[in-house]
Amino acid sequence: MFKQRLISGIILVLIAFVTLYYGGFLTFFVVGAISLIGVFELLRVIQMEKSALGVIVYTGSVLYYLLLLLGLEQYVMPLALLVLILLIAVYVFTFPKYEISSIAISYFALFYVTVMLSCIYRIRMLSDGAYMVVLVFLSAWGNDTLAYCTGRLIGKHKMSPILSPKKTVEGAIGGVIGAGLLGCLYGLFAKQFLSVNYNLIVVFGIVCAVGGLISIIGDLGASAIKRNYDIKDYSHLIPGHGGILDRFDSIIFTAPIIYYMLVMVVGLK
């Protein structure tokens, strides 16, 4: 089991590396496909993955990615409202087949998976995007690993006893500081390749620390949804790792926070 997990982990990192290194259409298609699988996994939790609601959310996700590709972001909100109107149309004309909770969770899936994950592609398309996109993974997986190490070493106070009994406050703090330090180290490395008018070590450190903090919410969020429906994994797509939502749970949250920090605070375009 450990060997299987390790091998598929390495393959996963290789796919991510190649995808994000080449950028452009390759990143577009891979991130888009991962989003669609993620939506499928989330809708399967409420057994709506093969319903009309699913078809509307998949179509909405594809159209959303096309708008990003074509640079037509002013149409994102009209598309989001169109998806809402279509979901309600299906809801009322098939009443009482679906509950409003299924409608709301389907709509939620569009944002939680598609819009949030699309930020990986959006970061990659920024200036120096190939370097910036590393921050998403550095803060999410860096935080996770270093929180685990710190927790094992000095962890005492449980953070979320019911949801994730092994996580400690000390571990969380260690993870956030650790992600920040990884960001600083990465800034030191990236400095050799990027010429920017801000201090890469400080900026990357702060970005990764904030990303690390938010990644904890993402990690716990994906677990909480599974708890609500009493399932162990979202799927078995990645041997030893579960599904897309199991493996990308924290990435889903670090991607938008890092994208908007880079665009709104650092001022990247």
Per CB under 8 A, 69 contacts a copy of itself: no
Query: In whole angstroms, what is the distance from residue 87 CA to residue 227 CA?
Result: 26
Per-residue binding string, a copy of itself, 152-191, x by CB under 8 A, is --------x-xx----------------------------
Closest contact distance (angstroms) between CB of 231 and a copy of itself is: 12
Query: In whole angstroms, what is the distance from residue 116 CA to residue 19 CA?
Result: 18
Per CB under 8 A, 70 contacts a copy of itself: no
Per CB under 8 A, 105 contacts a copy of itself: yes
Structure-block tokens of residue 106: 């389907």
Per CB under 8 A, 232 contacts a copy of itself: no
Nearest to 86 by CA among 64, 107, 63: 107
Choose the stretch contacting a copy of itself; rule: CB under 8 A; options: 59-67, 105-113, 172-180, 195-203: 105-113
> What is 89-135 written as a DSSP string?
HHHHHTTTSS-HHHHHHHHHHIIIIIIHHHHHHHHHTSTTHHHHTHH
β-sheet bridge partners, residue 242: 238
Q: Which is nearer to a copy of itself, 89 or 153 (CB)?
A: 89
The Cα-based distances of 96 to 55, 109, 237 in angstroms read: 19, 22, 33
Q: What is the contact surface with a copy of itself in residues (CB under 8 A)?
A: 75-78, 80-81, 84-85, 88-89, 91-93, 95-96, 99-101, 103-105, 107-108, 111-112, 115-116, 160, 162-163, 214, 217-218, 220-221, 223-225, 227-229, 253, 256-257, 260, 264
